[in-house]
Structure 1
Amino acid sequence: MRTPAETMTAYFEGWRRRDAESLRDVLADDVVFDGPMGHVEGVDDNVASLHGLLGIVTDVQVKHVFVDGPDVCTVYDLHTTATGAPVLTVNWAHVVDGRARTIRAIFDPRPLLAT
């Protein structure tokens, strides 16, 4: 079984490959995502949402990862086709049995909303 850090590393590797379907392997069936631009429940709806997001993602540059037991906080620059500059993002995930159960993203959505 993956550690929480390994789970979230696999999550962001899927982002870099723009492979939303591969994320099913690291998301719990009842995963809940919360962020400035929405709330999504369940693995199917999360993967569908990520299909849309990954269509504009050009890169994810992880700056730092903090791990505290089952909680993983990843600080990264999100590069997209919708913004000129990267969007500094913090992702806080709670991982149970090698799968992310909750994910909270924290970022300033204004650059994405301006498009």
Structure 2
Amino acid sequence: MNSPALKTALAYHEAWTGKDFERAMTYIADDIVCDAPAGRIEGADAYRAFMGPFVGMLVRAEIIAAFGDDDTAVLMYDTETVPVKRAPGAECVTVENGKITYSRFIFDRAPFEAARRAAT
């Protein structure tokens, strides 16, 4: 675990999966860019608005794999949320000076959309 990027990515992951979202946001750069299934998210405020609701409905998370080097880390994990029991995801992040500046976030939106439809 000598990878600086992996250390930051794991600290961020541990914070948000532990429901300490404020601590998680300390690892996010003010000018973060995130490419997610819903589209591009720019800036820490927009990122907070994107991730906050997900963290609020998180039940648990389990890391499947984690790799990194000086600047880039990849985490693959499975999550359980209130509406969706199995929601795997993956993030490839770029880290500069201990902050995540870019995130390529991959997850399947279909189960969440189905859960929303079933709840109405």
TM-score of the superposition, structure 1-length normalised? 0.88
Structure 1 partner of 2:106: 106
Contact 2:4–2:70 (Cα < 8 Å) also in 1: no
**1:51: which partner in 2?**
52
Structure 1, unaligned runs of 5 or more = none
- Equivalent residue letter for 1:112: F
TM, length-normalised to structure 2: 0.85
Q: Does 1:64 align with 2:65?
A: yes
Q: What percentage of aligned pairs have identical amino acids?
A: 28
Number of residue-to-residue matches in the alignment: 113
Max Rg structure? 2
Which has a greater percent of helix?
2
* Map 1:1-115 → 2, pairs under 5 A: 3-84=4-85, 86-115=86-115
- Measure, in 2, the Cα distance between the counterparts of 1:37 and 1:82: 18
CA distance in 1, matches of 2:107, 2:79: 10
